Structure 1
Amino acid sequence: MTTLPGNQQLIALAGQVLEVEAAAILSARARLGTAFLSATDLLFSCSGGGRVVVIGMGKSGHIGRKIAATLSSTGTPALFVHPAEAAHGDLGMVTPHDVVLAISQSGKSDELLRVLPYMKRHRIPVVAMTAKADSALAQHADVVIDTSVDREACPLGLAPTASTTLALALGDAIAMCLLQARGFTAEMFAVTHPHGTLGRKLLVSIADVMVSGAGIPTARESATIREALVNMSRAGLGFVNVLSGESALVGVFTDGDLRRALDGDIDIKTVTLGEVIARKFVTIEASRLAVEAVELMEQHKISSMPVVDDEGRLVGAVNMRLLLQAGVV
């Protein structure tokens, strides 16, 4: 039965792996220059309707898929095409408007090299990420980004480790440079991530989560506290909107107000809302973001509020529970 090395040996090995991979990235940082700028310019040039087509075999392919995903989510349309499948029909996915980002540490992956003639024939620009400047891939590419490393982090010197980490980091660097060049914003990011936390915060409005219509808890200021409790309990929002005789919003009555009224030995059967409500209260417009309601509630230490239109008319109600269900908290 084989036993693992001691804990200290494992920690030392793990630390060495991180050091080797970090050194590979820092070494590449010192090499950044004209080639990297030319590559980003070429990849940016396809923004007129083309895409970045990422290809790579084996571990380089796995890295390529992640790079394509990062590009797509940050404003640069991209897709990954498996070079082996490309030679069996998937080359039809690559158009003359595209730019190819080809990844191969050795620069001599057979599957990748077999599809390069198609790129040349259709005058599709190729950016190569390879460690071998004299490789076939480098020779056929329009721009070459150097991904050479002093050594792999694998103790056997065999498994791609430092080289794949560097390729991934360079892909991220390219994506971030293109993001900035395109003026890509957090709002744009949210559009392509509607189910993510950021998407919910930047896309979900008060109108999307509020209670509206017959669901809005309301009571006239002439109503007794007891009468108002019926609508408050039915809505389950922890408050009721108080309206004047002309249906104008004049205040709110909350669970907290009810407790204070009871502590003051007030007869809820006879005392009207108009006698106890505070005339100063917080509202929010239906057009604003739901996350802004969260900020207002935290600022004023409340858990619910009326929703109004641009002219201050009551159109809904919202509380912290609804905001939690919408995922914006």
Structure 2
Amino acid sequence: MHSSSSPRPCKRQRTMVTPPLTIHDPESNSILDRATRVLSIEATALSHVTRLYQTDPHAREGLLGAVECITKSQSVGGKVIVCGVGKSGLVGRKTVATLKSLSIAASFMHAAEAAHGDLGDIREHDVLFFISYSGKTPELLNLLPHLPRQLQIVALTSQSKASECPLLKEHENGVLLPAPLFESEEVSFGVSAPTTSTTVQIAIGDMLALTVADQLHENKGKTFKKNHPGGAIGAVTRESAKTIADACHQPVTPSEVTPLELPSPSLSAQSDL
């Protein structure tokens, strides 16, 4: 009698045409050289922009101006509204997250959504922070006629002077944070995809956030830990608090040693009693 079940198809064995590369193969060395060259170029870009903020008067004045206007805005209940699109927009979201973690009020506004109602997020004492490598992103330029004239604008672009930045030419309260590259990404990598430029943007965003935090808080480290009770950072903070308390022979409150957990959903009305 024939079996009612059909025979299982045999799995075909994958045959390797060539053995996997190892670090000893000439081709592997070529791949690794090209890969580490990317890191070297991005590190060089950071070195160049560091030198810029150490020596260039326009860059230094721009940084001081940005720190001052954001600090003043925060002191009267304003916030930093970071605005961008594309890869610069993603950098902006990261910058907002860093600002918030340091108790600097901030929000992200997508330039396209801004023209469809999100401009209502802007308040009198806010600072609008544009991020755009070219400084002439159409979605950002289209917003300029609709912004309050007194609104403080900070722009992070590749231009060296505020007078050269299209986003600031028509605005009297504009501050520029220059973020130029020592060579274009097309020259460095053969493709103009945002790589080195976004690395520099992230670094300048970090510089601005940490510098403002120094102005606002007596201890920015303590402020950050207070805002970050979860994850590995929170675990280290709780362990540190426990160690200090043990050394001082003091009791530790449960909130200092108990991992942060979300409440489980109720299975029934009776379980809530």
**Residue of structure 2 equivalent to 1:151:** 183
How much has 1:6 moved relative to structure 2? Answer: 2.5
Name the CA distance, whole Å, in 1 between partners of 2:51 and 2:45. Answer: 10
Q: 1:180-212, CA deviations, whole angstroms, 9 ceiling, x for partnerless residues?
A: 11124333222211224444565799xxxxxxx
**Residue of structure 2 equivalent to 1:187:** 222
Aligned pairs for 1:72-221 (under 5 A) are 72-119=100-147, 121-132=148-159, 133=161, 134-140=164-170, 142-153=174-185, 155-183=189-217, 184-199=219-234
Alignment of 1:7 onto 2:28: yes
Name the CA distance, whole Å, in 2 between partners of 1:191 and 1:50. Answer: 21
Residues 74 and 323 of structure 1: CA distance in aligned 2, closer, same or farther (over 3 Å): closer
Name the CA distance, whole Å, in 2 between partners of 1:164 and 1:291. Answer: 40
Contact 2:230–2:259, Cα closer than 8 Å, also in 1: no
Q: 1:248-278, CA deviations, whole angstroms, 9 ceiling, x for partnerless residues?
A: xxxxxxxxxxxxxxxxxxxxxxxxxxxxxxx
Amino acid at match of 1:191: K
Which sections of structure 2, spanning at least 5 residues, go unmatched? 1-16, 54-59, 261-273
The percentage of aligned residue pairs carrying the same residue is: 33
Amino acid at match of 2:224: F
What is the TM-score normalised by the length of structure 2? Answer: 0.71
How much has 1:35 moved relative to structure 2? Answer: 1.5
Alignment of 1:60 onto 2:95: no
Runs of at least 4 residues of structure 1 off by over 3 A? 196-205, 289-297, 322-325
**With CA pairs under 8 Å and 6+ residues apart, which has the higher RCO, 1 or 2?**
2
Partner of 1:6: helix, strand, or coil? Answer: helix
How much has 1:36 moved relative to structure 2? Answer: 1.3
How much has 1:52 moved relative to structure 2? Answer: 0.5
Name the CA distance, whole Å, in 1 between partners of 2:190 and 2:50. Answer: 26
Partner of 1:50: helix, strand, or coil? Answer: coil
Give RMSD over aligned pairs.
Answer: 3.3
Q: 1:89-113, CA deviations, whole angstroms, 9 ceiling, x for partnerless residues?
A: 0111111110011011111111111
How much has 1:294 moved relative to structure 2? Answer: 5.3
Contact 1:20–1:152, Cα closer than 8 Å, also in 2: no
What is the TM-score normalised by the length of structure 1? Answer: 0.60
Number of corresponding residues: 223
Amino acid at match of 1:129: L
Contact 2:155–2:167, Cα closer than 8 Å, also in 1: yes
Between Structure 1 and Structure 2, which shows a larger proportion of strand residues?
Answer: 1
Q: 1:276-296, CA deviations, whole angstroms, 9 ceiling, x for partnerless residues?
A: xxxxxxxxxxxxx53435557
Contact 2:158–2:178, Cα closer than 8 Å, also in 1: yes
Partner of 2:176: helix, strand, or coil? Answer: strand
Amino acid at match of 2:220: T
Which sections of structure 1, spanning at least 5 residues, go unmatched? 206-288, 298-306, 309-316
Q: 1:133-152, CA deviations, whole angstroms, 9 ceiling, x for partnerless residues?
A: 52421424511111110224
How much has 1:27 moved relative to structure 2? Answer: 1.1
Contact 2:62–2:176, Cα closer than 8 Å, also in 1: yes
